[in-house]
Amino acid sequence: MRTTGRHYLAAVVQMVAGRDPEDNLGQSLAWLEEAAARGASVVVFPETFTVMGRAPAYPLNAEPPLAPGTVPAGNLKPLAEAAARLKILVVAGVPELPGAEAGSPTDQRRVYNAAVVLGPEGTVLGVYRKVHLFDADLPGGFRVRESETFLPGDAPIVLDTPLGRLGLAICYDLRFPEFMRALAAAGAEVIALPSAFTLVTGRDHWEPLLRARAIENQVYILAAEQYGCPEVGPPCLGRSMIVDPWGTVLASAPDRDCLICAEVDLDRAAEVRSILPCWAHRRPEVYGKAPHPG
């Protein structure tokens, strides 16, 4: 991997995924090759980058249950093979079939909205299953009900990787500061955020939320977005970003399919925490108390 101590180049892919996994995968492999050619050590792909379509498309094209230490057997297999060949870390958002833990047979109509980390050997390092499902009636008449298509995950994930402590979140999770704080409290230095944030909300909220989560948790955020108009549902914002622990936007994607890169310096995260020692000043014993009436 292309690292120098605690410094490395991170890449984020912005793309429009359709309902054909083969086409989406072909695009992703090309982006992975370009990222490697630029010297990137990690590449983050958007939420459900292998398929975007009507609800039945997700279980039909979902990955078999993913487990750490295994090689993916579904649509992700060529991507895992390429990651191993290029010796690069990959984070990708995919639909994933539930295993036995999902419970009753009726749950089998739904799948997980997952973020999988593929190591530089091509094996699964870890899997995060989206905890917060986006159910909302948006301006413009768009009705979004993720809970009708996806099962909710039940745990945050922070992984030890060759590139430091990596936390995982997906799209709507960004709106929950307590969730992002849990990742940082577990030692995350970088948070990867595969997303398909809507244009109607994202044009006002996306960048402020990304910068706020980076500042308050003093972490890097690698946010990979879908872009443009999917076949169904509201259009996606795009504007993929890499944000540093000071809240500075190091890279921002234009309005098209593209790859953006920026340097991650984990020593910078430690420096920010020493300049602004918020973690040392936290008083969690107070936060659970009911506020006084006045």
Where in the sequence numbering do the catalytic residues fall? 47, 130, 171
> Among candidates 181, 190, 192, 170, which has minimal Cα distance to 244?
190
Q: What burial class does residue 98 get, using C-beta atoms within 10 Å of its C-beta: 0-12 exposed, 13-18 middle, 19+ buried?
A: middle
Neighbours of 155 (CB within 10 A): 8
Interatomic CA distance for residues 187 and 268, integer angstroms: 15
Q: Give a three-class secondary structure readout of 218-229.
A: CCEEEEEEEEEC
What is the C-alpha to C-alpha distance for residues 273 and 245, in angstroms, rounded to an integer? 9
Cα separations in angstroms, 272 against 70, 215, 244, 294:
36, 9, 10, 35
Is the separation of the CB atoms in 220 and 191 below 8 Å?
Answer: yes
